[in-house]
């Protein structure tokens, strides 16, 4: 693509139309740009358009966004930007970014970071010197628009040093950055600090200066994350002096200027807190000299931070710092008389109490409220972090904390009892403290607390809320009570819990989305509780009395505004359907309810978690209904019209689920399967169906169902040729090769030898071709499992003859180079049994292995079988995982998610053989009895001594001998 006036006009018009509110010109422009993006130099000409001052600012901004996204998908992908274009882009982008307006600058800074992620520093050695040179010039001129642009870019580039494992390459890159950038960073930081000090009361514009310091702090965090660099240790006094100043100084002209003035100062303070917390966690010894001053500064600062939500980030990072101190060896800061009570009264309780913002979030955005409150999202809240501080202090001062908090809880509950209407938030605070300070036993769902007696707290505090006749009154208290019930479900006895099942069902009718979500979640989690012997504590007998009203209320909850796609309710439906007894009438009502919802979400799928539980609910209803004797037609009548809508309206998000459900329905039918399914089979064989990567595992699952249920229909016309064509296509890609083998294995399992005989040479040719192209562990394991299955189904002679028919003596090559050395890699109970039995039959039945000339191969195969059968999986199969071919999935947002309840039942092709170890030694014993003395000699000469001992142990275990 050439840079000329015509290109300038074409791109300008396209970018202008992408901003159009009308969909048609916008789509046309996007399509034109997508086509142009495939041409060489596209990125370069778009960058030049961004730099063109004669073009409208809006168009240039749209072009900058497009340029950034173009680099994201093309800089290192399978359709790369060519090296000469890359070099030109790298030479232009820094000066252009520095001269651009703020909005364009931010886009180009992100684009630069994309390049830096792949090329910096090794393939872009000029970048850092260029940034440093520009930084010095901009700093000397006090040009903070440029200073902040450069620092923002450096921040994006250095971000890669955070949260990653140390490697030699990473540390070399970090050293290069430290050697070059640490000193200029400190220089800019100190100069900006002096400008702030000089301007603090002058009314000068402090905003860009504070933004600059925040960026310096962010870079400080990245460069110090892995370990304490020598430069920063040498200059710790300068850094820490300025850090402390920002925590203890107020800036009235900026903080009181309205708008985001206070937020800009608080952002810097929060970054400082993150940095001192990092030093506290990783460089405690070096930081010790500054600890007392910072602890006092943070403590004082927290006392002055209001409850306003726009100060949350500062409060959270400050409390995190105190939490880290509380669990360190310097916890004695909290030992002084009155400190822990002061923390509880001055920091914890004020931050745990409900604020207006919490109530607003509860009412206006129930999903976000639940994400923060019940699921413990990554986003910290003041309530949670305040409780973490108490937990931290309790590590060394447990009794003190427990006494104070227990007393505080009683005080809060007394306050509520004195005035329930006015002080209901005190009860909420008490419940929250008990729930948040509970400890979870590792690896279990068992939760304990030493603050209260769970049973008595449940009866005295929680039960009154559960029994409240008004399901809509004080919804936040109801939510807290339900959360407590859910959290301590293991400790609450079955007899006690069953009393309140009807109340949980009542709360499903609450108008509050949070309350009916928590009620649904509580029921769902209770149904997962295990009894002492590992069985389910709650069974169908417990659910059946309330089942009709429970299902009615669950479906009704989905009619509340904004709760139409409530994932907690749908997950509860799925769980209940997995436990309750399902009669024909109940199953019909449920499938009609679920398919109605499916029809609604097909119009605009929004919540993938809800959708997953919806399809799981359908799958488990079909599965359990048919297990209970219901004909599959009961479900087909309701399901087919909706599945047809999904396929005809191209609802791509639901394709993988649809194919899995169709596979389940095919398997539940008796042969011959109804003609409507064979129409689907025709579509399934079309190459177009297989073009979307996320659909492939589900399509393979459906194809396997057809191969098993309709083997006669498969053998008509050119259907089998098309099936094997699909197998051939799938094995050519590393990301789908295992799916190709699933198809092939099912062909071998399901079809008679006479049917597949004409195709066998083509199958072997395809497999040998792939083996020559790439010899990955995954491919070799899949090949060995296929060979084993072929031998089991059709005998060793057919195996050897058909392989050698493609290429003379190829069998021996495969045996020596792939089968024998890699047999030990086979994992999985059925796969191990299959491979061991097939290999045993080969050495005991195949003339090619029983020939005297093959004695060494025979002995090596025995050695491999013993390794497979006698050594633990982790010892013998410690291979590197194959690197997935990511590039093949670029551009797809849909993904395959397996439906657990529609899963294919693993069939054991060797049901008559119980124990592969016994089969192995019994077969060897029979074989050796035919030629006494022959095989022990080979075993002594070829088999590894450790495996000889293991073989002797196996023989002794089954009272067999090899003579």
Residue-wise pLDDT for 380-434, tens only, equals 788 889 988 988 898 888 888 889 999 999 999 999 999 999 999 999 999 999 9
Last residue of a domain, one of 59, 91, 118: 118
Residue 113 maps to a domain: yes
Q: What is the pLDDT of residue 79?
A: 65
Q: What is the pLDDT of residue 275?
A: 97
Q: Is 213 left (phi over 0), alpha (psi -120 to 50) or beta?
A: alpha
Q: What is the pLDDT of residue 872?
A: 86
CA–CA dist 356, 360 (Å, integer) = 6
Residue with tokens 């505090």: 461
How far does the chain reach from its first CA to its final CA, in angstroms? 79
CA–CA dist 617, 635 (Å, integer) = 13
Half-sphere exposure of 941 (CA within 13 A, CB side): 11
pLDDT above 70: residue 887: no
pLDDT above 90: residue 111: yes
Say if residues 818 and 771 touch (Cβ distance below 8 Å): yes
CA–CA dist 573, 550 (Å, integer) = 9
Q: What is the pLDDT of residue 890?
A: 29
Count other C-beta atoms under 10 Å from residue 468's C-beta.
17
CA–CA dist 948, 199 (Å, integer) = 84
Last residue of a domain, one of 594, 627, 649: 649
pLDDT in tens, 826-865: 998 999 999 999 999 999 999 989 988 889 999 999 999 9
Q: What is the pLDDT of residue 378?
A: 52
Tokens of 903: 């899963």
Number of residues that this document lists for the chain: 963
Residue 425 maps to a domain: no
622: domain CATH number is 1.25.10.10
pLDDT above 90: residue 878: no
Residue 63 maps to a domain: yes
Q: What is the pLDDT of residue 461?
A: 96
pLDDT above 50: residue 885: no
Q: What is the pLDDT of residue 826?
A: 93
Q: What residues contact residue 397 under an 8 Å CB cut-off, 6+ apart?
A: 331, 334, 335, 340
Question: What is the pTM for the complete model shown?
Answer: 0.80
Residue 716 maps to a domain: no
CA–CA dist 620, 604 (Å, integer) = 24
CA–CA dist 527, 543 (Å, integer) = 9
CA–CA dist 363, 531 (Å, integer) = 37
CA–CA dist 197, 208 (Å, integer) = 14
Summarize the confidence of residues 810-833 as an average pLDDT.
Answer: 94
Last residue of a domain, one of 649, 678, 701: 649
pLDDT above 90: residue 876: no
pLDDT above 50: residue 683: yes
pLDDT in tens, 47-81: 999 999 999 999 999 999 999 999 998 998 766 79
Q: What is the pLDDT of residue 492?
A: 93
Residue 283 maps to a domain: no
Q: H helices of 207-311, where?
A: 207-224, 230-234, 236-248, 252-255, 261-282, 284-304
Say if residues 912 and 832 touch (Cβ distance below 8 Å): no
Judged by DSSP in three states, 84 sits in helix
pLDDT above 70: residue 441: no
448 - beta bridge partners?
Answer: 439
Q: What is the pLDDT of residue 782?
A: 95
Summarize the confidence of residues 441-455 as an average pLDDT.
Answer: 75
Question: Percentage of the chain surpassing pLDDT 90?
Answer: 72
Q: What is the pLDDT of residue 102?
A: 87
Residue ranges making up the domain that contains 645: 445-649
Residue 818: exposure state from Cβ atoms within 10 A (0-12, 13-18, ≥19): middle
The per-residue DSSP string of 406-453 comes to: HHHHHHHHHHHHH-TTTTHHHHHHHHHHHHHT-EEPTTSS-EE-SSS-
Residue with more model confidence, 882 or 91: 91
CA–CA dist 315, 385 (Å, integer) = 9
pLDDT in tens, 746-756: 999 999 999 99
pLDDT above 90: residue 687: no
CA–CA dist 569, 384 (Å, integer) = 25
Q: What is the pLDDT of residue 183?
A: 97
pLDDT in tens, 189-223: 999 999 999 988 776 789 999 999 999 999 999 99
Which range (116-125, 242-251, 326-335) has the least confidence? 326-335
Tokens of 813: 């090559």
Residue 606 maps to a domain: yes
> What is the per-residue burial (b if ≥16 Cβ within 10 Å, else e) of 568-589?
bbbbbbbbbbbbbebeeebbbe
Summarize the confidence of residues 625-637 as an average pLDDT.
Answer: 90
Query: What mean pLDDT value characterizes the chain?
Result: 91
Q: What residues contact residue 488 under an 8 Å CB cut-off, 6+ apart?
A: 438, 447, 449, 454, 458
Q: What is the pLDDT of residue 899?
A: 86
Looking at the 3D structure of the chain, how many domains does it have? 2
Residue 627 maps to a domain: yes
pLDDT above 60: residue 882: no
pLDDT in tens, 632-644: 998 999 999 999 9
Count other C-beta atoms under 10 Å from residue 232's C-beta.
21
pLDDT in tens, 465-510: 999 999 999 999 999 999 999 999 999 999 999 999 999 999 999 9
Tokens of 494: 């079955």
Q: What is the pLDDT of residue 734?
A: 87
Judged by DSSP in three states, 536 sits in strand
Count other C-beta atoms under 10 Å from residue 55's C-beta.
17
Summarize the confidence of residues 887-916 as an average pLDDT.
Answer: 70
Q: What is the pLDDT of residue 308?
A: 81
CA–CA dist 463, 528 (Å, integer) = 22
Q: What residues contact residue 66 under an 8 Å CB cut-off, 6+ apart?
A: 15, 18, 33, 46
Q: What is the pLDDT of residue 78?
A: 63
Residue with more model confidence, 876 or 793: 793
CA–CA dist 41, 781 (Å, integer) = 44
Residue 643 maps to a domain: yes
């Amino acid at each position: 693509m050439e840079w000329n006036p015509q290109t300038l006009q074409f791109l300008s018009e396209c970018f202008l139309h992408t901003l159009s509110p009308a969909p048609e010109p916008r789509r046309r422009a996007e399509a034109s740009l997508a086509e142009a993006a495939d041409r060489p130099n596209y990125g370069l000409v778009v960058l030049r358009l961004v730099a063109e001052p004669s073009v409208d600012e809006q168009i240039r901004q749209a072009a900058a966004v497009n340029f950034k996204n173009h680099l994201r998908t093309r800089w290192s992908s399978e359709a790369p930007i060519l090296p000469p274009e890359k070099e030109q882009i790298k030479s232009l982008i820094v000066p252009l970014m520095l001269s651009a307006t703020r909005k364009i600058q931010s886009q180009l800074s992100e684009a630069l970071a994309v390049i830096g992620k792949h090329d910096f520093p090794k393939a872009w050695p000029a970048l850092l010197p260029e940034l440093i040179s520009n930084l010095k010039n901009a700093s000397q001129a006090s040009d903070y628009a440029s200073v902040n642009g450069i620092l923002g870019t450096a921040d994006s580039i250095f971000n890669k040093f955070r949260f990653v494992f140390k490697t030699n390459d990473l540390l070399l890159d970090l050293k290069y950055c430290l050697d070059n950038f640490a000193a200029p960073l400190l220089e800019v930081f100190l100069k900006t600090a002096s400008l702030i000090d000089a301007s603090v009361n002058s009314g000068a514009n402090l905003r860009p200066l504070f933004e600059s310091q925040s960026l310096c702090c962010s870079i400080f965090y990245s460069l110090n994350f892995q370990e304490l660099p020598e430069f920063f240790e040498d200059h710790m006094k300068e850094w820490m002096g300025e850090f402390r100043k920002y925590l203890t100084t107020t800036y009235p002209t900026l903080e009181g200027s309205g708008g985001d003035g206070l937020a800009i100062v608080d952002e810097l303070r929060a970054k400082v807190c993150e940095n001192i917390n990092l030093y506290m966690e990783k460089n405690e010894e070096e930081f010790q000299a500054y600890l007392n001053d910072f602890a006092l500064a943070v403590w004082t600062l927290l006392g002055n931070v209001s409850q306003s939500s726009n100060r949350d980030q500062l409060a959270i990072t400050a409390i995190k710092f105190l939490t880290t101190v509380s669990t360190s060896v310097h916890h004695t800061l909290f030992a002084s008389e009155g400190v822990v009570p002061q923390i509880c009264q001055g920091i914890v309780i004020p931050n745990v109490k409900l604020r207006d913002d919490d109530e607003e979030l509860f009412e206006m955005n129930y999903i976000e409220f639940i994400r923060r409150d019940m699921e413990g999202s990554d986003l910290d809240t003041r309530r949670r972090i305040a409780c973490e501080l108490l937990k931290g202090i309790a590590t060394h001062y447990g009794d003190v904390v427990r006494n104070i908090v227990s007393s505080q809880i009683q005080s809060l509950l007394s306050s509520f009892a004195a005035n329930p209407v006015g002080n209901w938030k005190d009860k909420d605070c008490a419940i929250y403290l008990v729930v948040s300070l509970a400890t979870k036993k590792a690896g279990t769902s068992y939760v304990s607390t030493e603050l209260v007696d769970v049973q008595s707290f449940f009866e005295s505090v929680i039960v009154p809320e559960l029994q409240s006749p008004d399901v809509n009154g004080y919804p936040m208290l109801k939510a807290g009570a339900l959360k407590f019930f859910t959290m301590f479900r293991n400790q609450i006895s079955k007899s006690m819990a069953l009393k309140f099942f009807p109340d949980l069902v009542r709360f499903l009718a609450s108008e509050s989305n949070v309350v009916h979500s928590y009620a649904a979640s509580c029921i769902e989690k209770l149904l997962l509780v295990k009894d002492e012997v590992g069985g389910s504590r709650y069974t169908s007998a417990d659910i059946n009395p309330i089942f009709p009203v429970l299902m009615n209320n669950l479906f009704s909850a989905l009619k509340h505004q904004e709760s139409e796609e409530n994932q907690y309710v749908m997950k509860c439906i799925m769980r209940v359907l997995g436990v309750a007894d399902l009669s024909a009438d109940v199953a019909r009502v449920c499938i009609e309810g679920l398919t109605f919802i499916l029809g609604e979400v097909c119009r605009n799928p929004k919540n993938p978690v809800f959708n997953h539980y919806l399809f799981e609910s359908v799958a488990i209803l079909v599965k359990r209904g048919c297990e209970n004797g219901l004909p599959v037609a009961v479900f087909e009548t309701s399901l087919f019209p909706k599945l047809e809508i999904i396929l005809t309206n191209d609802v791509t998000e639901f394709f993988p689920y649809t194919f899995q459900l169709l596979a389940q329905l095919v398997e539940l039918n008796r042969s011959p399967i109804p003609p409507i399914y064979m129409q689907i089979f025709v579509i399934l064989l079309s190459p177009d169906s297989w073009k979307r990567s996320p659909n492939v595992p589900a399509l393979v699952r459906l194809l396997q169902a057809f191969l098993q249920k309709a083997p006669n229909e498969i053998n008509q016309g050119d259907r089998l040729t098309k099936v094997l064509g699909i197998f051939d296509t799938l094995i050519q890609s590393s990301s789908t090769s295992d799916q190709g083998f699933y198809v092939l294995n099912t062909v071998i399992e399901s079809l008679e030898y006479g049917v597949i005989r004409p195709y066998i040479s083509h199958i072997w040719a395809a497999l040998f071709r792939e083996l020559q192209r790439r010899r990955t562990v995954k491919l070799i394991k899949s090949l060995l499992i296929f060979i084993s299955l072929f031998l089991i189904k059709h005998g060793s002679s057919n195996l050897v003859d058909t392989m050698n028919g493609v290429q003379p003596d190829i069998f021996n090559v495969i045996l020596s180079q792939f089968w024998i050395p890699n047999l030990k890699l086979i994992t999985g109970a059925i796969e191990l049994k299959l491979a061991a039995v097939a290999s045993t039959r080969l050495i005991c039945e195949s003339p090619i292995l029983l020939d005297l000339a093959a004695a060494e191969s025979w002995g090596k195969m025995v050695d491999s079988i013993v390794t497979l059968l006698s050594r633990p999986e982790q010892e013998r199969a410690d291979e590197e995982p194959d690197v997935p071919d990511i590039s093949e999935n670029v551009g797809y947002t849909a993904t395959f998610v397996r439906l657990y309840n529609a899963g294919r039942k693993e069939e054991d092709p060797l049901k008559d053989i119980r124990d592969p170890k016994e089969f192995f030694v019994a077969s060897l014993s029979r074989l050796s009895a035919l030629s006494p003395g022959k095989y022990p000699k080979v075993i002594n000469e070829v088999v590894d001594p450790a495996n000889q001992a293991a073989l002797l142990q196996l023989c002794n275990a089954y009272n067999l001998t090899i003579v």
